[in-house]
Amino acid sequence: MTPIASSLYEGIRSRKLASEQFTELLSAPGLRVARIVSDGHTTPESEWYDQETGELVFVIQGAALVLFEASGAEVSLVPGDYVNIAPHERHRVTWTDLAQKTVWLVIHYDASRDE
């Protein structure tokens, strides 16, 4: 098998994005890795993410605020920061950088597996 090499910045358009870009980088049993590109996008106020899997989220470029419903905590993320979100921990993105695109690396994992 030939190794697949690329860049997290590949294919990011310079023009304003009408909607977030989702690119799956890897999929395997119990694991998904994706790149998300936000351009000032947020989660609609009436919606919350409530996912079956754990989610380890890194900000590579830009910045974002993520609000957690249960605690009311709002986490600020800048390049190099990450947050680990447990399954069914309801959260929403309340802000992403307006001056530049926010590039996320998101790892969804099966948190129910025995360690």
pLDDT at 114 over 80: no
What are φ and ψ of residue 32, in 5° steps?
-140, 135
Q: Indicate the pTM of the whole model.
A: 0.90
Domain boundaries, the chain: 21-109
Compute and round to an integer the Cα radius of gyration of the chain. 15
Q: What does the pLDDT look like over 16-74, one tens digit per residue?
A: 889 999 999 999 999 999 999 999 999 999 999 999 999 999 999 999 999 999 999 99
Query: Which of 20, 31, 24 is CA-nearest to residue 6?
Result: 24
Tell me, what's the pLDDT at 85?
Answer: 98
The residue behind tokens 């870009």 is 21
What CATH number is given for 21-109 in this structure? 2.60.120.10
Instruction: Check residue 113 and give its pLDDT.
Output: 62
